[in-house]
Amino acid sequence: METEDGLSDVFAVNVPAPYLLTALITPPRRLVYLSSGMHHSGDTTLRDPQWATRPWQGSQAYSESKFHVTALMLAVARKWPQVLSNAVDPGWAATKMGGSGATDDLRLAPVTQAWLAAGDDAALVTDRCFHHQQPCPPHHATQSPEVQDRLLKYCAELTDTDTAAAYFNEREVGEAIARSDVDRCEIFVTTKVWIGDYGYDSALRAFEVSLRKLGIEQLDLWLLHQPLPSDFEKTIAAYKAAEKLLAEGHVRAIGVSNQTPKQLDELISHTDIVPAVNQIQVHPYYTQPEWRAANESHGILTQSWSPIGGSYVYRGADTNPLDPRHRRTRRTRPRLAQPGERRLPDPRLGTVKHLSNKPKNESTKERNDHESPAHEEAVRIRCDLSGSRRHRLGTVRVRRDRVCGCAARRQPRQDRSRIRLRHRRRP
């Protein structure tokens, strides 16, 4: 649902996101949730929290989402007595929603958050709301265990188990479903077919393997993991196999993943059933408006992967993340070398910048020489990622004499499976 105020996803961001993050972590010593004074005008009945049937009102939707997150905070305080669970009301601040006439200073909100997270004395409390380090009573309905339990039950019902053949965990997901006390009809199961199994017959066989590993009789959603631009006919054939499985009742819905608008048009023109879903990377730092608009024009639901932050950073909003011509770098924080330690940065980090300064007495001419293209080399490093049996090749750009005093040279073609580092002391 698109709205003029851009708040169509306010429930998903303000309620299920903190609910899931809370459910996935080991209970910490303290938790701080972000509430709002507007939660006092929220609907206490939990009627249609996602505004599926009601006429849209952005301000009221925001108020209700803050009512829900305040109730979540109090539910956590009740169910986890060992955790100090509190909420912060930032006040009427000059945000996009608050407007320029707001009277509160938004900078005071993180001060209160930090105080609740690490402060002593007055901060060592639970099930409280604070505004500028002063207690402010929450809505009385949020303190009702009945309201809290209804909210938790509603969030728990928003289940979607997403796996894929390429994740190599379908069997484990199936075991978890079998051991769970949740009814199978309440669990929405999605899996994906990998490009290596594209083609009509291959895709049908891959579906049978996935279903057997999951240990279920019917799949809720089956996706093509990504397009195969080099042989798009196989992508179309795999989708036609999905259409057959849908017609026979083996799967309840079919769709695609990571399909560009152009690829979607081509796929739809050669098949009979429009995909129900196109699962793409969407998050606050990579919103992909063109891709979402293309999905909407076909009546296709946009489903996000990495919704709370991407695994890659792309060059420009219009860049196709599946185009091999565009460079991708992992969003990973490098471990800096400790004092006196000489080492190359982790090759898994992609593009590496130098981590040490040059001698202060270095001349301008020497500095320019070091920065010339002649002193840059691309080193092909073969590294074992996360100890798995799969190996990947990552390209790391290293500047001589600029990375912790180490120099890495290009290896002969026949010896590129290993990297030999030649260490030398600075003059």
Q: Which residues are catalytic?
A: 167
The number of beta carbons lying within 10 Å of the beta carbon of residue 295 is 22
Q: Which residues are 161's β-sheet partners? A: 189
CB 85 within 8 A of CB 27: no
| Separation in Å, CA 196 to CA 82, 203, 205, 249, 268 | 49, 9, 12, 24, 21
Distance of CA 382 to the CA centre of its chain: 27
End-to-end CA distance of the chain: 64
Distance of CA 290 to the CA centre of its chain: 19
Q: Is 252 helix (H, G, I), strand (E, B) or coil?
A: strand
Phi, psi (rounded to 5 degrees) for 129:
-110, 140
Strands 84-88 and 128-131: parallel
Please list, in sequence order, all residues whose beta carbon lies within 8 angstroms of the beta carbon of residue 273, skipping any fewer than 6 positions away: 243, 246, 254
SS3 content of the chain, % helix, strand, coil (to 5): 35, 20, 45
Q: Is 37 helix (H, G, I), strand (E, B) or coil?
A: helix
The amino acid at residue 326 is: H
Q: Is 371 helix (H, G, I), strand (E, B) or coil?
A: coil
Ordered DSSP codes for 309-372: S-SEE-SSTT--TT-TTS--EE--PPPPPPTT---PPPGGGSS----SPPPTT--HHHHHHHTS
Q: For residue 320, count CB atoms less than 10 angstroms from its CB and return exposed for 0-12, middle for 13-18, buried for 19 or more.
A: middle
Q: Is 53 helix (H, G, I), strand (E, B) or coil?
A: coil
The number of beta carbons lying within 10 Å of the beta carbon of residue 120 is 7
Q: How far apart are CA 235 and CA 237, in angstroms?
A: 5
